[in-house]
Amino acid sequence: MPTELQAIQELDAEAPARAVSGFAGRVVAILSIGLSLYALYWVIEIVQPQIYRVSFLLIALVLTFLLYPARRGTKGRVSPIDWLLVGATIATLAWPLVDFDRFIYRAATPGTLDLVLGAIATALVLDATRRTVGWILPATAAAFIAYGHGGAFLDRVGLELFAHRGYGLDRLIGTLYMTLEGIFGVPLDVAATYIVLFTIYGAVLEESGAGRFFLDWSMAAMGRSGSGPGRTVTVAGFLLGTVSGSGVATTVMLGAVAWPMLRRAGYTAEVGGAILSAGGIGAILSPPTLGAAAFLIAEFLNISYLHVLVMASIPTLLYYLSIFLMIEADSRRMKTHAVEVRSASLARLTFTYGYHFTSLVAIAAFMVLGMSAFKAVFWATMLAIALSFIRRETALGPRKLMRALEHGGRGVLAVAATTATAGIIVGIVTLTGLGLKIAGIIVTLAGGSLFLTVLYAAVAVWLLGLAVPVTASYIIAAVMIAPALTHVGIAPVAAHMFIFYYAVLSEVSPPTALSPFAAAALTGANPFRTMMLTWKYTLPAFLVPFVFTLSKDGMGILLQAPLVDVVWTSLTAGIGVGALAVAFGGWLKGSANTAERLMAGAAGLLLFYASRVTDVVGLVLFAIVTVAHAVRIGRLRAAAAG
């Protein structure tokens, strides 16, 4: 019977992996385990970056061609063409390793064999990406390659703004295949270091029973009130995010277990779906793992991953505060009721299986003590393996440990292909200077206005996220849109965090909205209504990035300001979340009327702009709404009692 982690990995890809057996199955198992062990070995031993990235991608692409069929919906055995592509992968990616000492010095003047193998390697990367995440990203990368080659032609068709002198195939392949500026660039480096280590860690947690414990513990912790089931899903989503690292996967995993409980409590299919998808998307917005794009922030800005975790802490709290308040409002309005779930008490669960929390805390603790993120997650993984032996049923014996390593290796495949393709795009953007051109266009259209620049950047990242996965969306935006934000005076850390949040939010944004659509499929709800309700639950996540970009005072949200500013900005933003919950949830002490909701919405928006004047006005306005609402509800109840 497949584990929950296997289901997650298959549901998270647009083209689910096929089951392989026989010789192919043994090859997949050996290579997957080997990929995980290689990544763990890299942490404790020095491997030259170009050698490690090339060899890592070689194994990942071989596994991709064995596990992912050429066409979606086909589940047949590995075909002769798949084996041919495996052979081509070995040939094209073994060449840089075999001829390494001379290969790295020929990037400016590649030979004929370099050009042929480089062209084939590029095509293989694009096909592997198509198999795992669909055709849009590889088609986009192919268009960028065409742009890199034919830039001079654009000048002749009236597109001077985007034109450049154009580069021959030798220069393009030399950059993309023979340097660390293309396929083997920073995006792939992040997949081969940070991300694979976290997929291994998640697989270890899942095999040791941590995923089930997190669900049971959340159910026991969130109480027996009418809103308890909704709160349970939210907390469980946060904890399960450390296992899956994916919004869609966490939504699916949550839904399979929690939707029956939500339905029994009285939640409609649409509201239940919105709670599931909001909880799922929170998994990739939250420390200690965050999403793959967060690792890229650390690399692009040359800061520690701990620094990124710290910056994400208050936005995460605001996100979950919003969900809790929205759930409370909907639960009261819908008159949901408590659901009895057969499970051990919170105290008993914590005493018996609470050791599963230890490795989560250890990741942050190790980094605070000065460890790199790589070593922190490595030792947290070792700790999780050791702690699993506290109880016989969770012990990671040889068979379970090998299964965890296999799932960890398989879990990184889609990300490896995606980041390699994203590296192609980044390489072309860097080579042609397109990033600066796009940044200039945004700034010009905004007329130098800070607000319009931020707004246009948000729309651009959102549109980009509709076409490509979160990780690729962040990478492309980081090189094309971040310069526009920094040009108008926004701090680089704020610019990249802004792009990170909007890239992630593509998972709940129309028309794709992967997480809400996945939830709607589970609950039988209307997908569009589920998507719009999810927007309501996640609204602060769309607004928080404006807090730290529109005003320097807003940097307190990212803990990048004096303590007094951090406290004040976080407090007012938290009250702003409460005001927006009244506006969109329609409930305070009782049902809020239209005027109260409009005034509360205005107060919330004012409180989200970090300045003393707007904060004071927003606080006063929300106070007026609260008092007026309390008086009105008091009179209605008195009249009803009389």
pLDDT tens-digit series, residues 595-633: 999 999 999 999 999 898 999 999 999 999 999 999 999
409: pLDDT strictly greater than 80? yes
Half-sphere exposure of 89 (CA within 13 A, CB side): 25
511-538: pLDDT as tens digits: 556 678 778 877 888 888 888 888 888 8
Query: What is the total count of domains within the chain?
Result: 3
- Own/partner pairs, 295-300, CB within 8 angstroms, 24+ separation: 295/190, 295/193, 295/194, 295/195, 295/373, 296/186, 296/187, 296/190, 296/471, 296/474, 296/475, 296/478, 297/496, 297/497, 297/500, 298/194, 298/373, 299/186, 299/189, 299/190, 300/186, 300/478, 300/496
485: pLDDT strictly greater than 90? yes
96: pLDDT strictly greater than 90? yes
258 and 276 share one domain: yes
165 and 241 share one domain: no
Q: What is the pTM of this model?
A: 0.80
Q: Which of 415, 432, 447 is the last residue of a domain?
A: 415
In a domain, 487, yes or no: no
In a domain, 512, yes or no: no
Sequence-ordered list of residues with C-beta below 8 angstroms from that of 8, at least 6 positions apart, any chain: 243, 244, 246, 249, 250, 252, 253
85 and 21 share one domain: yes
320-346: pLDDT as tens digits: 888 888 888 888 888 887 777 666 788
| Percent of the chain at pLDDT exceeding 70 | 92
310: pLDDT strictly greater than 80? yes
Q: Which of 165, 184, 203 is the last residue of a domain?
A: 184
Confidence of residue 12 (pLDDT cuts 50, 70, 90): very low
Average pLDDT, the chain: 86
Sequence-ordered list of residues with C-beta below 8 angstroms from that of 268, at least 6 positions apart, any chain: 334, 525
Q: Which of 131, 111, 118, 63 is nearest to 91 (CA)?
A: 118
Q: Are 481 and 438 in contact (CB under 8 A)?
A: yes
Mean pLDDT, residues 134-156: 89
141 and 199 share one domain: no
- 354 vs 216, more confident: 354
178 and 68 share one domain: yes
55 and 126 share one domain: yes
41: pLDDT strictly greater than 90? yes
Q: Where are the alpha helices (DSSP H) in 284-396?
A: 292-301, 305-334, 346-353, 356-368, 373-387
Cα–Cα distances in Å, from 184 out to 328, 387, 418, 488, 596? 48, 36, 12, 32, 55
345 and 241 share one domain: yes
pLDDT at 549 (0 to 100): 93
pLDDT at 291 (0 to 100): 66
356: pLDDT strictly greater than 50? yes
423-465: pLDDT as tens digits: 999 899 889 888 878 888 888 888 889 999 999 998 888 777 7
Mean pLDDT, residues 156-184: 89
CA 461/CA 480 separation, integer angstroms: 10
Burial class from Cβ neighbours inside 10 Å (0-12, 13-18, 19+) for residue 211 reads: buried
8: pLDDT strictly greater than 60? no
Cα–Cα distances in Å, from 440 out to 20, 151, 155, 240, 467? 50, 18, 18, 41, 23
pLDDT at 2 (0 to 100): 40
219 and 110 share one domain: no
pLDDT at 266 (0 to 100): 87
pLDDT at 398 (0 to 100): 94
Mean pLDDT, residues 353-372: 88
pLDDT at 289 (0 to 100): 67
Q: Which of 364, 386, 415 is the last residue of a domain?
A: 415
Q: Are 233 and 330 in contact (CB under 8 A)?
A: no
pLDDT at 11 (0 to 100): 43
200 and 326 share one domain: yes
454-466: pLDDT as tens digits: 999 988 887 777 6
- And the tokens for 483? 């310069």
In a domain, 142, yes or no: yes
Range of the domain at 628: 562-642
Q: Are 405 and 32 in contact (CB under 8 A)?
A: yes
15: pLDDT strictly greater than 60? no
Burial class from Cβ neighbours inside 10 Å (0-12, 13-18, 19+) for residue 156 reads: exposed
Mean pLDDT, residues 357-385: 89
CB atoms within 10 A of CB 578: 20
pLDDT at 1 (0 to 100): 34
pLDDT at 7 (0 to 100): 42
208 and 278 share one domain: yes
- 284 vs 16, more confident: 284
290 and 407 share one domain: yes
In a domain, 481, yes or no: no
In a domain, 637, yes or no: yes
pLDDT at 433 (0 to 100): 86
| Percent of the chain at pLDDT exceeding 90 | 42
264: pLDDT strictly greater than 50? yes
159 and 52 share one domain: yes
CA 189/CA 415 separation, integer angstroms: 11
Instruction: Write phi, then psi, for 591 (nearest 5 degrees).
Output: -65, 130
Residue with tokens 């607000």: 451
Mean pLDDT, residues 295-309: 87
